[in-house]
Amino acid sequence: MGRPPIPEKSGEISVRLETRHLLDRSFSGLGFVAIFFMAASLVVILLPIIVKGLSAYLFTGTIEFREAMNDQFDHGDRAAVQAEARLAEQARQPLYDCLTAFADGQSKQLDRLTAIAQGMAAREDSLGRSVARKMRRFDPQAPFSSQLKTLQGVYDRAAANRGAVDVVDELAEMNTILAGLSTLNEKVEAFEHALSELLGPLPGQTPPRLLRSQYGQTRWDRALIKQRQFLFEEEWVHPPDGAPSYIKETPRIEHFRGTALEPAFALIEHDLESMLRPKFTFYWRFLTDTSKDANFFGGIWAEVLGTFYLTLGAMLFAVPMGVIAAIYLCEYAKPSRFISFLRTCISTLAGVPSIVFGLFGLAFFLNTLEVSHNKSVLAGSMTLALMILPTIIRASEEAILAVPQTYKEAALGLGAGRWHTVLTVVLPASLPGILTGIVISMGRAAGETAPIIFTAAVSVGQPLSIFKAFSQPTPALPWNIYNLCTEHEAVNELRHVQFGMVFTLVAMVLILNLSAIILRAKVSKKLRG
């Protein structure tokens, strides 16, 4: 910077000038920093939501996913999926062979036990009679563990009998086999559970009731977690000295050394890919599919539709009421104490917590007015409308007051009545401001949970037709996000659905806002000429 152009008094003036520049610069610096932090925090908040939320739509799906889609939603090519399922079945065969071999070995040992027991039952003394009584209950068709239990009972009875001295050898053999089988039995059950979680029901197993147990892992990322849970047994360790408890992981294979199941671990560790056949999947139908088995399968259409109905319904109630109220307050009401009291009430209403609106909606719309027999979209919309009404009134009032007085004078001067002036001049000119209020409150209505808990929302439900919306409750994104994150029985298994819902809600609100902003820009452009 050169010398100031005024040489006289230059000292005094240049100091002031520099101070001014410094102030200017520090203010713009502060402004820049503030904007930077705002943008950064927005990115920090939104980026994980977008990335994790997209994983509900874009992920690596397994053959189990494609089978489930095919069976339950009729998506995909049936023949191709079945062909692929056969390939996966072939890859799993060695594993299932291990299981069969192991089961054979176990049943042989069981047969030996049965033979010993029946040998003892054939004796004519009290031992024989006692064992025979016990053996009458033995059912060779019963599950393995109950057979084992019966035989354990036989052994206990026989060992307690006075005649046991004659069968010491048989009893000793029985004891060894029983000990081996029963320690392993618990481990085998855990093994089979972990395996069926990973790959779906095992061959020969009775088909499970729950849909989620009828299929293995549908997503490769979840499959890898289940793979680890299969390979390692988790156990809580509680140290005796009062130190914090911790989870100890032990390789499951340790229990099965030397058994027929030992090779299964290597197969799961190395051949899982060919068993599940992971493939990149773009599941856009996540948006338009209904959910099955409490969001384990399918998408979020019911929730999306519910949110849409609730938001739209709230707008249908709140926008006309809010705008008319604002017109009354600005154009018709004569300034009085009552009017200023009304204004205070509106401002206060804007600050009332949303849960209070929720309870009010329950008490007033459902219990007093009985707009529907149970929770319904209608009651929820009305409650949401009440909540956003103050925002819309306030924004509309400001927009109407900002319309230049000259417009009104012009209209009145041309012979327009008050109502005509409002309709033809004031409202068109204040439309951008009113739209801003609508945009803000629309986002709020779409995302608010508390007002709909008691009035409209259910955790599980089908997408509603528009006619049923008056009388039926609906799932809605904000409520189902909360429910799925906190109250679902498998919170950890469904992280992708939770983030997918959050992402969809954010995207919905952004799209709503964006379209309103574009509309607003068009209207203002038309007004500006």
User: Where do contacts with another protein occur on this chain (CB under 8 A)?
Assistant: 334-335, 404, 406-417, 420, 424-425, 428-429, 526-529
Nearest to 64 by CA among 204, 220, 267: 220
Secondary structure (H, E, C), 29-72 = HHHHHHHHHHHHHHHHHHHHHHHHHHCCCEEEECHHHHHHHHHH
Measured CA to CA in angstroms, residue 417 lies from 304, 406, 412 at distances of 45, 15, 7
Query: Least distance from C-beta 423 to another protein, angstroms?
Result: 11
DSSP state of 293: T
157 vs 408 by CB, closer to another protein: 408
Query: Least distance from C-beta 419 to another protein, angstroms?
Result: 11
85 vs 401 by CB, closer to another protein: 401
110 vs 523 by CB, closer to another protein: 523
Q: Which two tokens stand for residue 80?
A: 């191709």
149 vs 420 by CB, closer to another protein: 420
DSSP letter string over 319-376?
A: HHHHHHHHHIIIIIPPP-HHHHHHHHHHHHHHTS-HHHHHHHHIIIIIIIS-SSSS--
Cβ-based neighbours of 89, under 8 Å, separated by 6 or more: none
416 vs 516 by CB, closer to another protein: 416
- If one counts every other C-beta atom within 10 angstroms of the C-beta of residue 396, the result is 28
Distance CA 431, CA 326 (A): 13
Query: Least distance from C-beta 399 to another protein, angstroms?
Result: 14
Q: Are 310 and 381 in contact (CB under 8 A)?
A: yes
Tell me if residue 490 falls in helix, strand or coil.
coil
Distance CA 130, CA 121 (A): 8
168 vs 527 by CB, closer to another protein: 527
Query: Least distance from C-beta 346 to another protein, angstroms?
Result: 22
Distance CA 407, CA 325 (A): 21
Cβ-based neighbours of 284, under 8 Å, separated by 6 or more: 57
320 vs 404 by CB, closer to another protein: 404
Query: Least distance from C-beta 329 to another protein, angstroms?
Result: 15
Query: Least distance from C-beta 362 to another protein, angstroms?
Result: 44
- Using the structure block, give the residue that is written with the tokens 């599919």: 289
516 vs 523 by CB, closer to another protein: 523
Query: Least distance from C-beta 404 to another protein, angstroms?
Result: 7
Query: Least distance from C-beta 529 to another protein, angstroms?
Result: 3
412 vs 519 by CB, closer to another protein: 412
Query: Least distance from C-beta 401 to another protein, angstroms?
Result: 14
